[in-house]
Chains A and B, each alone.
Chain A
């Protein structure tokens, strides 16, 4: 049932990558519980603009949980306290009247802050550029069933491919490790015949890039899987370890 709540927002404000940031507190009254979290942010920004203040910068695009653009570390959780959704799918009904909501950007040395809540996730693009693609000629579309792929493998590859690259895994990890992201991107290709050809090179190149960019080391806490909006499993990390180690031992 719709009702209106009053919330206090503690939001991280930072003018630029090298400036010192700090929390600003805003009070927002009469927020509809039916509104989405980002709509609530829009309302706040409208107010800031009308008060001739600088609005809060935050990333968003599709607002339906598929583009991976929204971020925000809300009340101690990436994409907010609700599970298996992105920030844009989070609704104000998850919050109580009078609650204080703390909103921070992703914090990782590899994701420098651009402004306020907006971080540069170009590091993930660089990892993809290092090997997250198929560069061999696989020909035209093959006849149906000419290359049989086990249902289990197809499902597993599809689950890995559900990763939208939002960066919640690295944001949630106490070590700021990007292993779940890299594991998903390696797995979605390594499980299928077209991707298998370059699997060894891909695993080595992507892991090397990930390490170079300053992400931490995975310690198997499982925080990434618990916070992942697409519920990508840490079993993909075991596959990445396997791919990487067998590639290195073959060299």
Chain B
């Protein structure tokens, strides 16, 4: 199967799952800022995306996207480390054109994944999981605004989330243009444009996400 055997096939899987996850992040961040505008509206979305059949299908596809992206990352990184050979360079420097992020996608991805586990525990485990399993307080399962204000009432969590989102931002700035390059959607004229578009998309997504912990950190959310 060329999607597993060939290097470009493997990169195709990485880029398609990557683009899919970026679209998810865009969707996720758009819904999140509703909690600032209207907590009631936000809870309606939480209700809508609870343990319903359509939300479950979407969650399963999303989880599959994450799993494939992470497994392929492990697989590719392992192969790439082996390709250098037994002896590594004693002294290795980069030209200034080489972005730091592009050399550290696996490390950034690992950081993002670590916080993702924490994030699932903070929200998913207390909301959709409670609805599914029936354990815990079902009455609060769709009260997203409550859990958000609960979590971000602690400044430590606000800072933790801001750090997490910064790592994700770095991951995306390389990831978005890199995905387009791997899909072959690039040329000499478009290379700087694709990089700029990639920076704009990742910055918009991350600013939308970050606005929430910052909003609570500045004390605007305490009244809810």
CB-contact partner of A238 in B84, B88, B91, B187, under 8 A: B187
Cβ contacts under 8 Å, A110 to chain B: 83
Which of B2-10, B62-70, B110-118, B137-145 is found at the contact surface with chain A?
Answer: B2-10
Cβ contacts under 8 Å, A214 to chain B: 82-83
User: Considering the complex, which residues of chain B in the window 67-97 have a beta carbon less than 8 Å from any beta carbon of chain A?
Assistant: 76, 79-80, 82-97
Cβ contacts under 8 Å, A76 to chain B: 89, 91-93
Is A226 a contact of B98 with CB atoms below 8 Å?
A: yes
Is B187 a contact of A73 with CB atoms below 8 Å?
A: no
Closest residue to B75 on the A side, CB-wise? A217
Is B105 a contact of A107 with CB atoms below 8 Å?
A: no
CB-contact partner of A207 in B7, B76, B92, B186, under 8 A: B7
- A210 within 8 A of partner (CB): yes
- B184 within 8 A of partner (CB): yes
Cβ contacts under 8 Å, A239 to chain B: 184, 187
Cβ contacts under 8 Å, B105 to chain A: 219
Is B91 a contact of A109 with CB atoms below 8 Å?
A: no
Is A83 a contact of B95 with CB atoms below 8 Å?
A: yes
A69 to chain B minimum Cβ distance, whole angstroms, is 21
- A21 within 8 A of partner (CB): yes
A38 to chain B minimum Cβ distance, whole angstroms, is 20
Closest residue to B86 on the A side, CB-wise? A109
Cβ contacts under 8 Å, A23 to chain B: 90
Is B91 a contact of A218 with CB atoms below 8 Å?
A: no
User: Assuming A175-B80, A241-B182, is B8 touching A219 (CB within 8 A)?
Assistant: no
Cβ contacts under 8 Å, B187 to chain A: 235, 238-239
Interface size of A by CB at 8 A reads 53
CB-contact partner of A107 in B87, B99, B184, under 8 A: B87
A198 to chain B minimum Cβ distance, whole angstroms, is 18
CB-contact partner of B7 in A77, A156, A217, under 8 A: A217
Is B80 a contact of A176 with CB atoms below 8 Å?
A: yes
**Per-residue CB proximity of A214-251 to B under 8 Å, as 1/0?**
11111111110111000001110111111111101000
Is B85 a contact of A242 with CB atoms below 8 Å?
A: no
Cβ contacts under 8 Å, B95 to chain A: 77, 83, 223, 226-227
- A174 within 8 A of partner (CB): yes
- B103 within 8 A of partner (CB): yes
Is B184 a contact of A242 with CB atoms below 8 Å?
A: yes
State in angstroms the CA–CA spacing of A175 and B79 once bound together. Answer: 8
Cβ contacts under 8 Å, B93 to chain A: 75-77, 81
State in angstroms the CA–CA spacing of A226 and B92 once bound together. Answer: 14
B contact set with A: CB distance below 8 Å: 2, 5-12, 76, 79-80, 82-99, 102-103, 105, 174, 177-178, 181-188, 191
- 6 A–B pairs (Cβ distance < 8 Å), ordered by A: A104-B90, A174-B80, A219-B105, A220-B174, A235-B188, A241-B181
Q: Which 5 A-B pairs have the closest CB atoms?
A: A242-B184, A216-B83, A76-B93, A226-B95, A175-B80
New A-B contacts (12) at CB < 8 Å, excluding given A83-B95, A156-B188 = A10-B90, A104-B89, A175-B84, A176-B80, A176-B84, A179-B7, A218-B11, A218-B182, A220-B102, A220-B182, A221-B102, A248-B6
A contact set with B: CB distance below 8 Å: 10, 21, 23, 73, 75-77, 81, 83, 102, 104, 107-111, 156, 174-177, 179, 207-208, 210-211, 214-223, 225-227, 233-235, 237-246, 248
